[in-house]
A and B are shown apart, each in its own frame.
Chain A
Amino acid sequence: MGVASAVLLGIAFGMLRSGLPQALKGNRLIKFLFEAPKFPPPIAWIPFVILLIGVGEFSAYTIVFIGAFSPVFTSAYEGAESVPVAIRRTARSMEITGLSYLWRISLPASLPQIFTGVRVGLSMGWMSVIAAEMISGQSGLGYSIQLNRLNMQYGMMTVDMFLIGLIGFALFESAVLLQRKLLPWREEILT
């Protein structure tokens, strides 16, 4: 849920940002507004979110969203900005402009990069969930680590760490599988 909305919004905002006129893109203030919020790590946002919307389903989604959004957003924007010039020009010759250009050219052309962002976003989202559970969870693996720490159950903590790794790996692999299915035209080999 959190990841899905992060992916959709990340792509949409990344595309729209690349569609801004050159004058706005070059503007320092606008750049700052887009770039600066990426720097506080997702974990730093957790206390904020908990203060603002409390503990629960929704705040969990929000935390995942914060973790996953920025890698997707950045990769979508950079993908759209790096469309080869011959392809851009060809699209212009076909009189494809504006939103139609973003949808029909920028988006498919940057899908490979977007997927890279999604993979990173998934990891970040997953890490944020664990971190959030450690800070204020009532359940979950992060919470379990904290609990085992208090009870000095090192064995159980190792199991928790292992499970976190396993689930993270499964998420990552499923993104790779999805990418292979959706982007058969990519030459790159994903293993």
Chain B
Amino acid sequence: MIRFRDISHEYDSGKGGRILEGISFSIEQGECVGLTGPSGCGKSTLALIGAGHLAPSSGEVTVNGERTTGRPGRHVFLIHQESDLFPWLRVGRQIAFALNGTCRYTVAELVSLVKLTGFEGYYPNQLSGGMRKRLALARALAINPKLLILDESFGSLDQELKASLFRDLKEIWALTGTTILLITHDAGDLENFVQREIRLTSQKPTRIQEIVTLPIGQTR
């Protein structure tokens, strides 16, 4: 179980004041949870805190009871909103690079899971936008994190491609049982997918507005 406990944050550089306040929720193993909120409300900030890349002003993150606040590692893996692929590694090497002992899949299996078979020798810049997202997903699965955070992963793509990537993600989730926190500003993305949706408020500082349990999505 991953817990966010009473997270508050303000960037020390900014005069923007407090961004997040008193954010608490937890995610059970194997769950797929959505996190929504308007642009600029602090979703990416919360994602960075979750993955240990940013230490919150107060509050803590725990993974199975262990405090991981401000400590990046394989426990929580974040696929960034901007590209974070290593441009110098081809598809196959990119995935192999991330693979560790705890992952039960081989590189070839991961490649086929994200439908990139045949493209093992391509560099990221030789792939289409959608394929790059798939590669990032395969690489994240190779890490086998306790929690995988996807920050607007498919945000920049057109509707049709986005829908097909969400279908694939759902399939992969059902198959692998990866625990996922799916961040988006468009709640519509979560329909028929997540079991719970955490809605953030729009007024500053951002708090949790409500956590809704969605009836659908238990299609595992």
- Residues of A whose CB lies within 8 Å of any CB of B are 84, 86-87, 89-90, 92-95, 104-105, 108-109, 111, 183-187
**Inter-chain contacts of B48 with A (CB < 8 A):** 89
B98 touches A89 (CB 8 A): no
A92 touches B88 (CB 8 A): no
The residue among A92, A95, A111, A185 with the most chain B CB atoms within 10 A of its own CB is A185
Answer whether A89 and B84 are a contact pair too, CB < 8 Å, given A185-B124, A185-B125. yes
The residue among A93, A185, A187 with the most chain B CB atoms within 10 A of its own CB is A93
B125 touches A86 (CB 8 A): no
B133 to chain A, nearest CB (A): 14
Give CA–CA (A105, B48) in the complex, Å. Answer: 20
A93 touches B78 (CB 8 A): yes
Indicate which residue in B53, B87, B123, B125 contacts A89 across the interface (CB closer than 8 Å). Answer: B53
Asked if B83 lies at the interface with its beta carbon under 8 angstroms from chain A, I say yes
Interface string of B54-79 (1 = CB under 8 A from A): 00000000000000000011101110
Number of A-B contacts (CB under 8 A): 55
- Residues of B whose CB lies within 8 Å of any CB of A are 48, 51-53, 72-74, 76-78, 80, 82-84, 86-89, 97-98, 123-125, 143
B186 to chain A, nearest CB (A): 22
B122 to chain A, nearest CB (A): 10
Query: Chain A contact residues: over half helix, strand or loop, or mixed?
Result: helix
A-B contact list, 23 entries, CB within 8 Å:
A84-B84, A86-B84, A87-B84, A89-B53, A89-B78, A89-B84, A90-B84, A92-B53, A93-B53, A93-B72, A93-B76, A94-B98, A104-B97, A105-B86, A108-B89, A109-B86, A109-B87, A109-B88, A184-B123, A185-B87, A185-B125, A186-B87, A187-B125
**Inter-chain contacts of A187 with B (CB < 8 A):** 125
A89 touches B51 (CB 8 A): yes
Query: Chain B contact residues: over half helix, strand or loop, or mixed?
Result: loop
B86 touches A87 (CB 8 A): yes
Give CA–CA (A92, B125) in the complex, Å. Answer: 23
B88 touches A93 (CB 8 A): no
A191 to chain B, nearest CB (A): 19
Answer whether A108 and B88 are a contact pair too, CB < 8 Å, given A94-B98, A185-B123, A185-B124. yes
Q: Considering the complex, give the chain B residue whose CB is closest to the CB of A90.
A: B84
A88 to chain B, nearest CB (A): 9
**Inter-chain contacts of B87 with A (CB < 8 A):** 109, 185-186
A57 to chain B, nearest CB (A): 37
Give CA–CA (A182, B125) in the complex, Å. Answer: 16
Give CA–CA (A95, B86) in the complex, Å. Answer: 15
Give CA–CA (A111, B82) in the complex, Å. Answer: 21
Indicate which residue in A94, A185, A186 contacts B74 across the interface (CB closer than 8 Å). Answer: A94
**Inter-chain contacts of A94 with B (CB < 8 A):** 74, 97-98, 143
**Inter-chain contacts of A93 with B (CB < 8 A):** 51-53, 72-74, 76-78, 143
B201 to chain A, nearest CB (A): 27
B74 touches A86 (CB 8 A): no
A95 touches B74 (CB 8 A): yes
Q: Considering the complex, give the chain B residue whose CB is closest to the CB of A91.
A: B86
Give CA–CA (A93, B78) in the complex, Å. Answer: 8
B207 to chain A, nearest CB (A): 26
Give CA–CA (A156, B72) in the complex, Å. Answer: 65
A189 to chain B, nearest CB (A): 12
